[in-house]
Amino acid sequence: MIARNEEENFRSNLPKWEHLIDGIVVVIDARTNDRTALAVTEALPDTPRWLFYYEFDGFGAARTRVFQEAWRKFPNMSHVLVADPDWEPQPPMSKADLDFDHVVFQFKIWDRNAHTTRMSEWLLLHRPGLAFTYRLHEQLQVTADSSLKMSKKLPWEVREVEVPGRASWHNTQAGHGHSQSFNRYLFDLALLERDLADLPDDPHVLYYLGASHLAALEALLGRGDHQVTPETTKWIDGGVGYLERRLADHHVSNEAVPSEETWAAMRWLAYAYQNFRQNSQKAEYWYQRCVDFDPARADCPVFLAKLYRQVGLVDRAWEVISRSLAISFEERRFSNNFYIYHCSLPLEASLTLMELLVKDDSIDSSSSQMFIFGWKLLQLSKTSCNSSSLGYLLESDEVVEAADEAYRGIISQSAKAQDGRGGSSEQLLDFDGLCVSTNGKDTGLTRMFGNWGVDLC
């Protein structure tokens, strides 16, 4: 571990690792002014340990130094796990899951933003020469071994936990306040710019420079449209400029460049053109490239469908979103946004279907199955968008309630048109026990309905 002012996180989290670890090495930033070292000692009193201080010059160098000291002090250890002070291990986690047949072992990290996960390979066979690169968003350098398999996925999970009021590096260093604050992004950008000076066309550095500029703007002003000023223009131009450099052809076509960062760069760039530059044409272009680059991800189809729906192209919106509804969720190693898939995807699909149905005068046999589907998706989104901090993420409570009323209005009008009384207006709204038919011909519809729990007749 590396640490600066992490006394409270260590006292809370280190005891939860005790059943897994046989020794601990911590490098402490020389600027630390709390009792971080004492916290390690008291949290793990019976665990062999080596604590030392260093002058910070980036995260990659610090973690490499820990590797060097871990090999020097504990050469007989079998495996090494790189962890952060704010990680909470989630049981069950057992050393019996490890072996000596693989170089690295993947485990899942639940990000502190509460809507993404990532897979980490920061658990590997202990051996000399292990190292990290980059001052920020450091990357582990792993070399293959001809006698071993490269990677094994473990059932292990950890959570990044940021507890309000708990002193830690994120909320004490330079007045960050928290890990996604504007001041934190300023700190990040300073390190990234130093990496850029050393590596002027590095795709990893360019991606994080672009994304951090845009994230900093949202941290400063919040989400939504903002007045164009010299200050906002600086952040927007920086984000767009670095992302466009990242998406140059020689990076996109290079198989050695991480494809998931390429996909994320397209998503961020499209988002910037849509929300910061209000350029729908370029936003559509980059969203479509993002969809084409990785069709199995839901994020860009959701954003593109919303873009189409907002400009009145509801048929094109449905064409885009329906493809994602027919694809099952697949966990990704990087920026795995489960909240978009389970919350935003059904909500956007429901809103799109509702607008398509509004164009019709009534619900007939050909459209009733889609009404049932759209209504159910709306109810599913209300359950899935259950984060107290995120809510519906891409929509407001008012939009969702208006959609609910619109669905009720559609079926009520249809029922009145059919029997003159409206007596069956609630029948389709209580869809338990109802089923839809695809006539066994449309496998896309079958997959789509099946993915979202709609019974087939």
On the CB side of 411, how many CA atoms lie within 13 Å of its CA? 21
Whether residue 231 sits in one domain with residue 192: yes
Whether residue 131 sits in one domain with residue 252: no
Residue 425 carries which side chain, given as an amino acid letter?
A: S
On the CB side of 93, how many CA atoms lie within 13 Å of its CA? 21
Whether residue 155 sits in one domain with residue 9: yes
Task: Count CB-CB contacts under 10 A for residue 123.
Answer: 20
- Token pair belonging to 240: 């767009």
Please name which of 393, 321, 402 lies closest in space to residue 358, comparing C-alpha atoms: 402
Whether residue 76 sits in one domain with residue 11: yes
User: What residues in the chain have per-residue pLDDT under 70?
Assistant: 170-179, 224-226, 360-367, 413-443, 456-457
Whether residue 344 contacts residue 301, with contact meaning beta carbons closer than 8 Å, is answered with no
Whether residue 260 sits in one domain with residue 112: no
Whether residue 264 contacts residue 317, with contact meaning beta carbons closer than 8 Å, is answered with no
**Domain termination residue (choose one: 162, 186, 209):** 162
376 Cβ contact list (under 8 Å, min separation 6): 431, 452, 453, 454
Q: Which domain holds residue 457?
A: 340-381+400-457
What is the model's pLDDT at position 138? 97
456 Cβ contact list (under 8 Å, min separation 6): 435, 436, 437, 438, 446, 449, 450
Count of domains observed in the chain: 3
Whether residue 121 contacts residue 74, with contact meaning beta carbons closer than 8 Å, is answered with no
Whether residue 146 sits in one domain with residue 17: yes
pLDDT tens-place string over residues 72-96? 999 999 999 999 999 999 999 999 9
64 occurs within a structural domain: yes
Give the pairing type, strands 102-110 and 117-120.
antiparallel
Whether residue 28 sits in one domain with residue 145: yes
What is the model's pLDDT at position 57? 94
